[in-house]
């Protein structure tokens, strides 16, 4: 089944670890990416993203001669699509990367191949891929037409947690949804090679919805914690204490409030459900709106804290923003509420000096670097010079800060570390 190897399209946080997992099991893998720099980095044995143990796994795949990266689509027995699926300005799914991957695969098909979509996608996307291929290749029978097909199509959503990808890619259970039962069986054979968890077979649309449901579940639960934070503040209670006590109940497990939900999954995927059923997805939409409103609440608290130090609107003062990443102990700044709070603060208060502290990076991202009132600072310098200290990310490095280190500063603690 794998005679012509496997092509993994999209060499990012999912595609690259998947290449590593497949090559570890002796398969020949071609990694395909539109970004020439990514391709040349990988071919030179360097990994362009930070994820524990990924560099070692990729280096050994290269040393064994099992992995090559390229910008052009090869012929392969299995195509695995792991490209981004963002949303447009009005929260509608943007499938342009899936479409261009499909358009590159279509001319290579000879019959007998398996095409798997791993990218998190709105319900119906796998079927759309089948239609797109059939428009380009009227000579082939595709599974959406019914009957026996020449090419097999399935959705197998990725579920790995950034920071634990090289563990979870092997151990997580996988959902494999085929456009036909035969498609699901053929795609499952790929995952049986390296997955130790259960493999659950279903139809493609249920698999698409299951993945969206997982992330919407987490988003709704975080929104509940964030709403509790606002309720508790309003009535003068410590939300972290309230949650910790409630969680002693055997059937209660409330998540933690924070400055908002970041990353490229949980803040995006629920919108695909809203888009598919706008009238019905009321709670899912409300959760998104609640979490998206958190950064503004934090900015108001920073202004209030600056006012307490005698700074009037828009002018003066030094604010230390601790953490820019989208969550603890990673270097990933994508869709980070901490980053957007720091940037908005600096833009809205050009007379305020903003010290950005992020132990996992050594240069400011472009948006922040362009602002004259922002500097990348070490923790000690920021604590020494700030009037207001804002804890945005609960990195391990910040857990060592004591209340004594913060004496005399106004504090905005969005993670409940300094209670
Ligand atoms: N967050 C909170 N409070 C919490 C937990 C998280 O505010 O109690 C915030 C984080 O700070 C972060 C955001 O939510 O900004 C998302 O972080 P996360 O750790 O919940 O999730 P991700 O985005 O790193 O990974 C999620 C995972 N999905 C689920 O746990 C259901 C992962 O398994 C998925 O593979 C990934 O999305 C994905 O790619 O879809």
What was the pLDDT predicted at 331?
A: 85
Q: Report the pLDDT averaged over residues 325-344.
A: 94
Under the banding of pLDDT at 50, 70 and 90, the label for residue 180 is very high
CATH of 259-413, one of 3.20.20.70, 3.40.50.720, 1.10.1040.10, 2.40.420.20: 3.40.50.720
- Neighbouring CB atoms inside 10 A of 56's CB total 12
- Reported pTM: 0.94
> What is the rounded CA–CA span in Å between residue 91 and residue 53?
34
Q: To test ligand 1's pocket by mutation, which of 265, 298, 417 has the most ligand atoms within 8 angstroms of CB? A: 265
In this structure, the residue with its CA closest to atom 9 of ligand 1 is 261
- Residues contacting ligand 1 via CB (< 6 Å): 120, 158-162, 214-215, 218, 222, 255-256, 258, 261-263, 265-266, 326-327
Beta bridge partner(s), residue 225: none
Q: Are strands 114-117 and 78-81 parallel, antiparallel or unpaired?
A: parallel
CA dist., res. 148 & res. 111, Å (int): 12
Distance from the alpha carbon of residue 350 to the mean position of ligand 1, in angstroms? 32
Coil, strand, or helix at residue 77? Answer: coil
pLDDT digits (tens, 9 = 90+) for 246-256: 999 999 999 99
User: Which amino acid residue places its CA nearest to atom 28 of ligand 1?
Assistant: 215
Give me the torsion for CA of 178, 184, 187, 193, rounded to 10°.
140
pLDDT at 369: 97
**pLDDT at residue number 312:** 62
Given 19, 156, 183, 265, which residue is catalytic? 265
pLDDT of residue 1 exceeding 80? no
Ligand 1 atom closest to the CA of 393, numbered from 1 = 11
Q: What confidence tens digit (pLDDT) does each residue in 279-309 have?
A: 999 999 999 999 999 999 999 999 999 999 9
Q: Taking Cα atoms as reference points, which of 133, 127, 131, 135 lies closest to residue 154?
A: 127
3-class secondary structure, 153 = strand
Q: Which atom of ligand 1 approaches the CA of 14 most closely? A: 39
CATH 3.40.50.720 segments of the chain: 6-197, 259-413
156, 183, 211, 321: the catalytic one is 211
Choose which residue among 51, 215, 262 to substitute to test ligand 1 binding: the one with the highest number of ligand atoms within 8 A of its C-beta: 215
Answer yes or no: 321 catalytic.
no
Looking at the domain 6-197, which fold is it?
A: Rossmann fold (3.40.50)
User: For position 49, what pLDDT does the model report?
Assistant: 83
Task: State pLDDT tens for residues 31-81.
Answer: 999 999 999 999 998 898 878 999 999 999 999 999 999 999 999 999 999
* CB of 154 closer than 8 Å to CB of 117: yes
* pLDDT bracket for residue 313 (50, 70, 90): low
Strand, helix or coil for residue 169: helix
**Which ligand 1 atom is nearest residue 264's CA?**
23
The confidence score (pLDDT) of residue 123 equals 98
Per-residue pLDDT tens digits for 123-171: 999 999 999 999 999 999 999 999 899 999 999 999 999 889 999 999 9
Using the atom order of ligand 1, give the atom closest to the CA of residue 328: 11
What are the beta bridge partners of residue 7? Answer: 30, 79
The neighbour count for residue 397, using CB atoms within 10 Å, is 17
> What distance in angstroms lies between residue 266's CA and the mean position of ligand 1's atoms?
6
pLDDT in tens, 112-122: 999 999 999 99
Q: Whose CA is nearest to atom 1 of ligand 1?
A: 261
Q: How far is the CA of 293 from the centre of ligand 1 (A)?
A: 17
Catalytic-residue membership of 232: no
Q: Which residue lies with its CA nearest to atom 10 of ligand 1?
A: 327
Going from the Cα of 335 to the center of ligand 1, the distance in angstroms, rounded, reads 12
Q: Which atom of ligand 1 is nearest to the CA of 162?
A: 24
Q: 181 falls in which pLDDT band (50, 70, 90)? A: very high
pLDDT of 314 strictly over 60 = no
Residue-wise pLDDT tens digits, 195-234: 999 999 999 999 999 999 999 999 999 999 999 999 999 9
């Amino acid at each position: 089944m794998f005679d012509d190897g496997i092509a993994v399209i999209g060499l990012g946080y999912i595609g690259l670890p998947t290449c590593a997992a497949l090559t570890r099991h002796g398969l020949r893998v071609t990694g395909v990416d539109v970004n020439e720099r990514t391709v040349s980095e990988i071919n030179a044995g360097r990994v362009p993203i930070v994820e524990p143990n990924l560099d070692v796994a990729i280096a050994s795949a290269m040393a064994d001669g099992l992995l090559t990266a390229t910008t052009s689509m090869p012929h392969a027995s299995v195509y695995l699509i792991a490209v981004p699926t963002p949303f447009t300005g009005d929260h509608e799914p943007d499938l342009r990367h899936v479409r261009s991957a499909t358009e590159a695969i279509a001319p290579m098909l000879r019959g007998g191949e398996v095409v798997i979509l791993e990218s998190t996608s709105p319900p119906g996307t796998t079927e759309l891929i089948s239609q797109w291929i059939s428009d380009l290749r009227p000579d082939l029978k595709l599974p959406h037409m019914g009957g026996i097909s020449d090419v097999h199509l399935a959705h197998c959503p990725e579920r790995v947690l950034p920071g634990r990808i090289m563990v979870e890619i092997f151990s997580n259970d996988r959902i494999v949804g085929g456009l036909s039962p035969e498609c699901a069986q053929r795609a499952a054979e790929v995952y049986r090679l390296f997955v130790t968890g259960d493999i659950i077979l279903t139809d493609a649309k249920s698999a698409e919805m299951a993945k969206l449901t997982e992330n919407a579940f987490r988003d709704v639960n975080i929104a509940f914690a964030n709403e509790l934070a606002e309720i508790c503040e309003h009535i003068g209670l410590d939300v972290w204490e309230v949650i910790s006590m409630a969680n002693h109940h055997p059937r209660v497990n409330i998540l933690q409030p924070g400055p908002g939900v970041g990353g490229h999954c949980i803040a995006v995927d629920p919108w695909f459900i809203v888009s598919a059923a706008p009238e019905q997805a009321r709670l899912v939409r409300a959760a998104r709106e609640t979490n998206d409103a958190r950064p503004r609440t934090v900015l108001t608290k920073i202004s209030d804290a600056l006012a307490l130090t005698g700074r009037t609107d828009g002018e003066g003062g030094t604010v230390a923003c601790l953490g820019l990443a989208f969550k603890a102990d990673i270097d990933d700044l994508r869709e980070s509420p901490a980053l957007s709070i720091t940037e908005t603060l600096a833009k809205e208060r050009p007379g305020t000096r903003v010290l950005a502290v992020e132990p996992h990076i050594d240069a400011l991202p472009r948006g922040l670097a362009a602002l004259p009132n922002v500097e990348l600072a070490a923790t000690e310098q920021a604590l020494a010079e700030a009037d207001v200290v804002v804890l945005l990310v609960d990195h391990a490095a910040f857990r060592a800060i004591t209340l004594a280190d913060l004496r005399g500063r106004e504090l905005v603690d969005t993670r409940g570390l300094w209670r």
